[in-house]
Amino acid sequence: QVQLVESGGGLVQAGGSLRLSCAASGRTFSRNAMGWFRQAPGKEREFVAAITWSGGSTYYGDSVKGRVTISRDNAKNTLYLQMNNLKPEDTAVYYCAARSSSLLSRYMYDYAYWGQGTQVTVSS
């Protein structure tokens, strides 16, 4: 069993930066692939980024590629999402998620564990 808690969301001006964190507990964290998703009001949940258990491989959604960096610190059981040059369209609730395997995935149904989300609001 893995429990996930996101933090670091808030209000930021367009062009600014924000770093989200996801604290994980449970014995399976270090070998799980992890991901970030987001959901804006009236929109479906969208893939943002994923990372392998080692941090050696990453994958990004087209909407954020070049502006975000996913990383993890397994010693701290923490996942990060560094977001730069934020746009108003980045406004959403951001969720971290963990797979039960070590492989990358962009699909929600591949993730067994989810946090409750943290709100990111980007103003113009």
99 CB neighbour count, 10 Å cutoff: 23
Report whether pLDDT(28) > 70.
Answer: no
Angstrom distances, CA of residue 13 to CA of 49, 58, 66, 67, 80: 22, 27, 18, 15, 20
Counting residues of the chain whose pLDDT is more than 90, the rounded percentage is: 81
Give the pLDDT confidence score for residue 116 in this predicted structure: 97
Q: How high does pLDDT run on average in the chain? A: 93
Question: Measured over all CA atoms, what is the biggest interatomic distance in the chain, rounded to whole angstroms?
Answer: 42
End-to-end CA separation in angstroms for the chain: 40
